[in-house]
Structure 1
Amino acid sequence: MNWNDLRYFVVLAAEGTLSGAARRLKKDHTTVARRIEALEQDLGSRLFDRLATGWSLTEAGSNLVPVAAKIEDDVLAFERQAHGDETAYGVVRIAVPPAAGRLLFAPHLAEVLKDQKHLQYEILGSSVVANLARREADVAVRMVQPDQNGLVVRKLTTLRLGIYAIRGYCDVTPAKDWEFCGDERSSVGEKQQNWVWQKLDRELPVRVRADDTETVRSFIAAGYGLGILPRYIGDEDRRLELIVSDEDCDISKPVWMVVHPDIRRSPAVRMVMDALIQATRNINPEYKHDL
């Protein structure tokens, strides 16, 4: 039996569809189906019923899920430990939020790490939180404090935010006609919106809500109203002007570096962690608040 097939089994059991499992495994759906069929043949047991709505676990498959998950966890722990004992060679996968990764960390990482000829780096710019236990990434930068037990967490900095408008908007648009682009993420958006109302001493109409930074910037740059952006984005866009800065960091975002303890002693991973710390130090002081 190919032990790697167990991973396909665990993921398909969790996702319930070939397409979902293929996306998570970053394989095509025919590969997933082939690996499951090979596992079933090796075990001599049917693990899934192929239905029009998805792949449903059989009784035998359901009984094997916890066993397979434990085996997968043990194999991943073995790989992490082995990787942690390597010299500074190979590939290090770094997960960063898209905007911060592209604008803040990638340029500085490139500068700090350019002389490390024996290492390769994959920068994964995605809003999806990478699972470090499954080696979806070796090191992660996150904008929310991790709540998963057993991870090594270090706060890198706090990124300042501000209220922006297109240049001249507040001069040519009567205050009674100002509008605001809100954040549709409930808890975050509500806190930010209340802060804006407090700073402006009034409430603004909210006809547009977005859950990503680029949409908010597009709304502002098109002259439709005000919105909140990270300083490292808003200050760099010459079309925009800063109306109010979050000097006291009431709504600004802490940034965390996260690594699995089994792998943090790897020379390669340690080098990347040090580079992220150095990259943070190199961020414009106007854009961050370090305690």
Structure 2
Amino acid sequence: MNWNDLRYFLVLADEGSLSGAARRLRKEHTTVARRIEALELDVGTKLFDRLPRGWQLTTAGQNLVPVAERVEEEALAFERQAKGDEAAHGVVRISVPPVAGRVLFAPRLARLLTAHKGLEFEIIGAANIVNLARREADIAVRMVTPREPGLITRKLVELGVGLYGAVGYRDRVPSRDWEFCGYEDTAYGASKKEWVRHVLGRELPCRFRADDTETVRQFIAAGHGVGVLPRYLGDRDEQLELIHADIDGKSRETGWMVVHPDMRRSPGVRLVMDALIKAADEISEEFQV
């Protein structure tokens, strides 16, 4: 048996579809199906019913989920222990929001690669929260407060935000006709919408929502409406003008560094942790208010 197939089994069991499992594993859906079929052949039983609406666990599959979870937990603990004892070389997987990674942290991390020839970085620029216990990443930067128990967390920085429009937008468009470029219907998106309602004294119509900051920025720059962006991004963009700053800090964003305790001993991970802390220290004070 290929023990790595258990990871495919658990992810597919959790997602319930080949496409969802493939996205999470960052593999082709055909690869996921092939690994599951190989596992079923190895154990001699059918684990999933292939249904039009998705892949559903059979009774045998359901019974094997807790067993597979225990095996995976031990295997991951073994891997983390081994990685924690190695020298400062090899691959360090870093999860960081795409825009923050590119603008705030990439320069410092690039200098770290230059200084340590044995290191390799794999940047996971996804907005979703990766599972550190499952080694989906070795270290993560998050713009939401970490909730998982047992992880090591450190506040990196508090970042200010502002309400922006394209240059000349508020002169061309009467305020009664303003529209809001919003984020998807999450707690984050709702908080930004509520802050705009607070500062403007009314709720703006919203016909556009996105799940990433860069797409929102592009729609604002194209003149579709106004929207909330971090100051480090909006203030540097010559296509945008600041309409209202978050002076009282009601919508300020906190950046957190998160790492699994077993990975903290890894020399490579420790170097990345130090680099992220230094990068946060270098963020201009004007972007923190």
Structure-1-length-normalised TM-score: 0.90
When structure 1 is superposed on structure 2, of 276-285 and 27-36 the one drifting more is: 27-36
| Identity across the alignment (%) | 60
Aligned-pair distance for 1:65?
1.1
- How many angstroms does 1:11 deviate by? 2.0
Structure 1 67/220 Cα, relative in aligned 2: closer, same or farther at 3 Å? Answer: same
Between 234-243 and 20-29, report the one with greater CA deviation: 20-29
What runs of 5+ residues in structure 1 fail to find an aligned partner?
Answer: none
C-alpha separation between the residues in 1 aligned to 2:23 and 2:184? 26
Per the alignment, residue 30 of structure 1 pairs with: 30
Give the structure 2 partner of residue 203 of structure 1.
202
TM-score (norm 2): 0.91
Distance 1:11 1:165, change over 3 A: closer
Aligned to 1:103: 103
CA drift at 1:266:
0.7
Alignment match, 1:68 = 68
Alignment of 1:244 with 2:244, yes or no, is yes
- Once residues 278 and 193 of structure 1 are traced to their aligned partners in structure 2, the CA distance between those partners, rounded to angstroms, is 32
| 1:245 Cα offset (Å) | 1.2
Aligned to 1:153: 153
Map of 2:140 onto structure 1: 140
SS at 2:264 equivalent: coil
Unmatched segments (≥5 aa) in structure 2: none
Alpha-carbon offset, residue 15 of structure 1: 2.5
The equivalent residue for 1:55 is: 55
The offset of 1:174, in angstroms, is 3.6
**CA distance in structure 1 between the aligned counterparts of 2:19 and 2:100, rounded to whole angstroms:** 29
Cα deviation code 1:221-257 (max 9, x no counterpart): 2234322111111111101111221123210110000
- Partners of 1:179 and 1:36 in 2: how far apart? 48
CA 175–23 in structure 1, closer or farther in 2 if over 3 Å, else same: closer
- Mapped to 1, the partners of 2:136 and 2:288 lie a distance apart of 28
The question of whether the paired residues in 2 share the 8 Å contact of 1:182 and 1:206 is answered with no
Paired with 1:175 and 1:5, the residues of 2 have a C-alpha distance of 57
How many aligned positions are there? 288
User: Considering only aligned residues, what root-mean-square deviation do their CA atoms show, in Å?
Assistant: 2.1
- Find the counterpart in structure 1 of residue 223 from structure 2: 223
**How far apart are 1:128 and its partner, in Å?**
1.6
Q: Which has the larger radius of gyration?
A: 1
Over 3 Å counting, the alpha-carbon distance change for 1:223 and 1:43 in structure 2 is closer
1:5 aligns with 2:2: no
